[in-house]
């Protein structure tokens, strides 16, 4: 410890003081530091060479970030018998890109669905492709076709999908995908953002990696941007961490801390989101100005059976196709006053989005429409408010 009596006041101002902590904090502290001190040069060498564990630089790891990462991994693997690990990233998109660039090399292919979130599709085609990694789109619900592609294209190294899909709510059978991937030695990654581990646990169904945009339900309050990569096979762990630290796609302590606060109410929120969404879906399904409702909780929905097999409830996301022209649909959305127009999902309040003019704007129109993302499609992230207020706003707008 530095002797304060032997330094000037200006130096005293600069130097860190002895930490004045007597008891354990009840809440996780925010470690707002870019680097960490070594006790000696030998101590630093041992940490850098991997002889001992320790924090050195927050791009490599940070106590706040690492604590929340592991907490999310433990939730994702809860009751599965798996020992999972997690890495928080700067966003959901960086979680996807980090997995892809960790696992694949030039010449490798990704097999995925054609109704992905628009940003993911765009990243695969415009960014990942520049590394010589090709993306193949198909209907992952047609199992025989998927197996044929895997049989005939041995360059496929990653099977990537989201279920339910954004924004069509189409479900992919996770068990079938995991079985086929293992048969052909292919890595699997599932975007579990819509469900969270409270509703769906892909690791337990044989998936290698789960990613989330923690910005959405895990945080739940719309005040942070981050993502997480969760895996359970130790042989991939170092690859993920190496790519993460060298690309600099790591999360910061403040966003990690906000996620930690949000997680505390996650089960309560997901229950209420699901209950409200079911009521809204039932209301919309009977409305004369609504052509179709995409919600897996509806018994007549085409993906109800698959969803019921792998999801504990049906979540808070739905979409519906309104009757009318693009102009009429946009006018209808503008009449919403209780629901908020915002390009995100998973917050505590109800959010509305028009995919064709926002999230899927840069996806080819033919691809959009072939997957049910028409000009009339409206996506709703149902909040935890009084459901009667949500329905009243929709009723007024749909007149």
**294, β-bridge pairs:** 319
- Check if 368 is active-site: no
Indicate the length of the chain as a whole number: 399
Q: How far is CA 183 from CA 66, 139, 178, 180, 208, in A?
A: 34, 19, 9, 5, 14
For 90, the token pair is 């700067």
Q: Are 363 and 118 in contact (CB under 8 A)?
A: yes
Q: Catalytic residue among 43, 46, 59, 312, which? A: 59
Q: What is the mean pLDDT of residues 154-159?
A: 98
Percent of the residues in the chain that have a pLDDT greater than 70, as a whole number: 98
**What is the domain partition of the chain in residue ranges?**
42-263, 266-397
- Check if 182 is active-site: no
Q: Catalytic residue among 31, 60, 87, 117, which? A: 117
Q: What is the mean pLDDT of residues 364-388?
A: 88
Q: What is the mean pLDDT of residues 71-100?
A: 98
Tally of CB atoms within 10 A around 122: 17
Q: Catalytic residue among 191, 255, 347, 375, which? A: 191
- Check if 85 is active-site: no
* Domain covering 42-263: architecture: 3-Layer(aba) Sandwich (3.40)
CA distance 73 to 263: 12
CA distance 133 to 34: 34
Nearest Cα neighbor of 232 from 259, 194, 251, 205 is 205
Which band of pLDDT confidence, cut at 50, 70 and 90, is reported for residue 371?
A: confident
Say what the pLDDT of residue 366 is.
79
Q: Are 171 and 297 in contact (CB under 8 A)?
A: no
> Any idea which of 5-14, 220-229, 322-331, 361-370 has the lowest mean pLDDT?
361-370
For CA atoms 257, 258, 259, 261, give the dihedral sign.
Answer: positive
Domain 266-397 maps to which CATH number in 2.40.110.20, 1.25.40.10, 3.90.1150.10, 3.30.420.40?
3.90.1150.10
CA distance 203 to 28: 27
Average pLDDT, the chain: 94
CA distance 317 to 321: 14
Is the pLDDT at 47 greater than 90? The verdict is: no
Is the pLDDT at 1 greater than 60? The verdict is: no
Report for 8-17, 102-111, 355-364: range of highest mean pLDDT? 102-111
Is the pLDDT at 3 greater than 80? The verdict is: no
The pLDDT tens digits of the residues spanning 14-24 come to 888 778 888 89
Q: Catalytic residue among 134, 216, 269, 272, which? A: 216
Say what the pLDDT of residue 369 is.
75
Say what the pLDDT of residue 365 is.
78
> Any idea which of 9-23, 162-176, 280-294, 327-341 has the lowest mean pLDDT?
9-23
- Check if 233 is active-site: no
The pLDDT tens digits of the residues spanning 275-318 come to 999 999 999 999 999 999 999 999 999 999 999 999 999 999 99
Is the pLDDT at 97 greater than 80? The verdict is: yes
Q: Are 225 and 250 in contact (CB under 8 A)?
A: no
Is the pLDDT at 358 greater than 70? The verdict is: yes
């Amino acid at each position: 410890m530095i002797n304060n009596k032997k330094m000037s006041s200006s130096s005293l101002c600069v130097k860190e003081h002895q930490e004045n902590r007597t008891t354990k904090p009840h809440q996780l502290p925010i470690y707002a530091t870019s680097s960490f001190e070594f006790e000696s040069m030998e101590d630093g060498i041992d940490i850098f060479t991997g002889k001992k564990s320790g924090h050195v630089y927050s791009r490599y790891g940070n106590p706040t970030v690492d604590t929340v990462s592991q907490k999310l991994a433990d939730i994702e693997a809860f009751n599965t018998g798996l020992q999972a690990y997690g890495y928080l990233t700067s966003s959901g998109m960086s979680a996807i890109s980090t997995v892809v660039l960790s696992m694949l090399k030039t010449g490798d292919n990704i097999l995925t669905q054609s109704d992905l979130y628009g940003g993911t599709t765009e990243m695969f085609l415009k960014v990942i492709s520049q590394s010589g990694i090709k993306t193949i789109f198909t209907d992952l619900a047609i199992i025989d076709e998927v197996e044929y592609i895997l049989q005939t294209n041995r360059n496929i190294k990653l099977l990537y999908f989201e279920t339910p899909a954004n924004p069509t709510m189409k479900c992919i059978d996770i068990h079938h995908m995991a079985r086929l991937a293992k048969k052909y030695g292919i890595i699997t990654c599932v975007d579990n953002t819509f469900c969270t581990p409270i509703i769906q646990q892909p690791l337990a169904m044989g998936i290698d990696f789960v990613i989330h945009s923690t910005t959405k339900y895990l945080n739940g309050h719309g005040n942070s941007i981050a993502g997480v990569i969760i895996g359970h096979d130790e042989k991939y762990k170092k690859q993920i961490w190496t790519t993460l630290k060298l690309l600099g796609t790591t999360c910061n302590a403040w966003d990690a801390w906000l996620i930690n606060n949000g997680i505390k109410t996650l089960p309560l929120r997901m229950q209420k989101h699901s209950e409200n969404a079911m009521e809204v879906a039932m209301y919309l399904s009977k409305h004369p100005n609504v052509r179709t409702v995409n919600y897996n909780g509806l018994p007549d929905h085409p993906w109800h059976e698959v969803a019921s097999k792998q999801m504990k409830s049906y979540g808070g996301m739905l979409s519906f196709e309104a009757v009318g022209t693009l102009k009429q649909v946009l006018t209808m959305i503008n009449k919403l006053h209780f629901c908020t127009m915002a390009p995100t999902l998973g917050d505590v309040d109800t959010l509305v989005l028009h995919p064709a003019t926002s999230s899927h704007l840069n996806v080819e129109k033919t691809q959009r429409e072939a997957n049910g993302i028409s000009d009339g499609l409206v996506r709703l992230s149902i909040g935890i408010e009084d459901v009667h207020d949500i329905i009243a706003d929709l009723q007024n707008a749909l007149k």
